[in-house]
Structure 1
Amino acid sequence: MPKPVTSAAASAPPSASPVSTPSPKGLKTRRQIVENWLPRYTGVPLKEFGDHILLTNFQRYVNLFAQWHRVKVKGKDKPMPNATAGNITIINFGMGSATAATVMDLLTAIKPKAVLFLGKCGGLKHRAEIGDLILPIAAIRGEGTSNDYLPPEVPALPAFALQKAISTTIRDSARDYWTGTVYTTNRRVWEHDAKFKKYLRKIRAIAVDMETATIFMTGFYNEITTGALLLVSDQPMIPEGVKTAESDAEVDETYVTDHLKIGIESLNQLINQGLTLKHLKF
């Protein structure tokens, strides 16, 4: 009988191939990493991004933006679907402070002129009704993620010039808004927790969310001009105000269109007037 073949070549699996690194020399610097990862997360080459960014947690915003501007939604199979029209790119980065920090870090690859977060929040005071807009002047860092960037005592603040442009746009749209401090938390399913709700009342915040403080802090850390405009989508301090699938769908149908339009017009105001946004030395 013939002897079985025992050479290394014959015994190796047919599909075996050398493991390749992401780049010939590897990713050694922060710059190399973000330039590699932003296209990987979004499916878009760096050169195709606008220099003004809208951030959102919800795909409806991206779809509406693409529909209005007659452009394609890209990266549908990626973690961060997006669309670009002119100088503006909108990105759905997902939910929570960890992904908020990730997208802000990755955006350093293109050094945007401005980043505006269009988020939803829970109103903590009765005067902030569902559908109202909140233009935060600061955020309380209850999420923990931002502590990896700057010490806890550093305040989470937006860029004044960007918030001013948003304020003007809202008034030009014959709308009004609330302003105040937003508490950002990593917690979910806390609406039953009486102790936590007592704490939220004590700190006098007007709203609660999961991203604003992180975006402000990572924007400051990365020297990116950053702002936020929040839409009150629920009133979690009372049982009948806790968000449900039905109530969230109603908010989407009734209020999201105006929220997105104001965000787009705010950035267009900056673009068309060529306003200087960086008044701080980072």
Structure 2
Amino acid sequence: MNGFPLHQGKHALPAVPDPAEHAAHVRTTDPEANLSTLDGAVLLYQGRLLEHALRTYRTSPRPGWVRGGLHLVEDRGRSFALCGGFGLGAPAAGLVVEQLAALGTRRIITVGTAASLQQGLGPGHLVVATSALRDEGLSHHYLPPGRTASPSPTLTQHLTEALASYDVPVTLGPIWTTDAPYRETAAEVTRYGAEGILAADMEAAAVFAVGHYREVAVATALAIADSLVDRRPRLHSPDTEHALRTALAAAAQALYASTASQQTPGEH
């Protein structure tokens, strides 16, 4: 039986395509395409959160720099990029992280939603991931075989500290990343819930893997939107919306704090 990836040990091999090619192509039409002077980037998976961000901050669009929409923000001495509209799932997120890194980004915080695996986590609760089960495909092309991928401890700490000043419940812990959201089984939910896994998402393990490979510090905040334990049809919740907006504000603060602290960005 073949393992995965089919070509074993490929994580240690050089690739034919290079993200630097993307950056060079962008600079043929926009020589100023450079993100290295910013505090970092915030990736937003929900379109409505990006719309909120564009209403909240003074932004400058940078079309064509990365897949999806990229907007530069200057806000009270903080400078960061907002990126959204690139799609859902590990491949979409991993591709954007590669492109941002090639343009000079050294810190990335992702903000999205997740499904709870624990009874005590409901809509409006935020989860800050400390690790992610690698139940998607992309991370296995970047890292040696293993069960989990982890974010940057330093950036995760800055994110947690930024969230502490807000009125949203926050829990730190492990999550489960799967790229088959309609194949989350009762057996898995029971097993992972018993192990203390907090929630399920579609991107974090991949983003952590690409960040580790490219020496980009990555952290993730997830707003609980529904539950895999007490399953019922998903409803739009103002509590989830509030949690997402809070995570966005805290992410901007955390990127600034991480830059100001002069920590090594790629430290894991």
| TM, length-normalised to structure 2 | 0.80
Structure number with greater CO (CA < 8 Å, separation at least 6) is: 2
Distance change (3 Å), C-alpha of 1:200 and 1:60: same
Task: Give the counterpart letter for 1:204 in structure 2.
Answer: G
Q: How does 1:109-148 map to 2 (within 5 A)?
A: 109-148=102-141
**Quick check: which has more Rg, 1 or 2?**
1
Task: Give the counterpart letter for 2:140 in structure 1.
Answer: N
1:183 is aligned, of 152, 176, 194, to 176
Q: Distance in 2 between matches of 1:139 and 1:36?
A: 32
Distance change (3 Å), C-alpha of 1:54 and 1:38: farther
Q: Report the 3-state secondary structure (helix = DSSP H, G, I; strand = E; otherwise coil) of the residue aligned with 2:175.
A: strand
Residue in structure 1 matched with residue 23 of structure 2 by the alignment: 35
Task: Give the counterpart letter for 1:122 in structure 2.
Answer: A
Residue in structure 2 matched with residue 236 of structure 1 by the alignment: 228
Residue in structure 1 matched with residue 100 of structure 2 by the alignment: 107
Is 1:47 paired with 2:34? yes
Q: Distance in 1 between matches of 2:17 and 2:227?
A: 44
Task: Give the counterpart letter for 1:163 in structure 2.
Answer: T
Q: Distance in 1 between matches of 2:183 and 2:62?
A: 34
Question: Aligned-pair RMSD on alpha carbons?
Answer: 2.9
Q: Is the 8 A contact 1:117 1:228 kept in 2?
A: yes
Residues 133-165 of structure 1, C-alpha deviation per residue, up to 9 Å, x if partnerless?
111111110112110111222741111111111
Task: Give the counterpart letter for 1:215 in structure 2.
Answer: V
Q: Identity of counterpart residues, as a percentage?
A: 19
Q: Is the 8 A contact 2:176 2:197 kept in 1?
A: yes
Residue segments in structure 2 that go unaligned for 5+ positions in a row: 1-15
Q: Is the 8 A contact 2:142 2:209 kept in 1?
A: yes
Distance change (3 Å), C-alpha of 1:37 and 1:233: farther
Q: Is the 8 A contact 2:149 2:208 kept in 1?
A: yes
Q: Is the 8 A contact 2:67 2:96 kept in 1?
A: no
Is 1:88 paired with 2:80? yes
Q: Report the 3-state secondary structure (helix = DSSP H, G, I; strand = E; otherwise coil) of the residue aligned with 2:130.
A: strand
Residues 11-35 of structure 1, C-alpha deviation per residue, up to 9 Å, x if partnerless?
xxxxxxxxxxxxxxxxx86154231
Residue in structure 2 matched with residue 194 of structure 1 by the alignment: 186
Q: Report the 3-state secondary structure (helix = DSSP H, G, I; strand = E; otherwise coil) of the residue aligned with 2:249.
A: helix
1:97 is aligned, of 90, 96, 115, to 90
Cα deviation for residue 266 of structure 1 reads 1.7
Structure with the higher fraction of residues in strand conformation: 2
Cα deviation for residue 204 of structure 1 reads 3.0
Moved more, 52-61 or 171-180: 171-180
Cα deviation for residue 252 of structure 1 reads 5.6
Q: Report the 3-state secondary structure (helix = DSSP H, G, I; strand = E; otherwise coil) of the residue aligned with 2:181.
A: coil
Q: Distance in 1 between matches of 2:59 and 2:168?
A: 28
| TM, length-normalised to structure 1 | 0.76
Q: Distance in 1 between matches of 2:139 and 2:35?
A: 29
Moved more, 147-156 or 86-95: 147-156
Q: Report the 3-state secondary structure (helix = DSSP H, G, I; strand = E; otherwise coil) of the residue aligned with 2:206.
A: helix
Is 1:171 paired with 2:164? yes
Q: Is the 8 A contact 1:44 1:74 kept in 2?
A: no
Task: Give the counterpart letter for 1:275 in structure 2.
Answer: Q
1:262 is aligned, of 236, 250, 261, to 250
Q: Is the 8 A contact 1:65 1:83 kept in 2?
A: no
Cα deviation for residue 249 of structure 1 reads 5.8
Residues 244-268 of structure 1, C-alpha deviation per residue, up to 9 Å, x if partnerless?
xxx2364564433222112222223
Q: Is the 8 A contact 2:123 2:237 kept in 1?
A: no
Q: Distance in 1 between matches of 2:140 and 2:160?
A: 29
Moved more, 222-231 or 43-52: 43-52
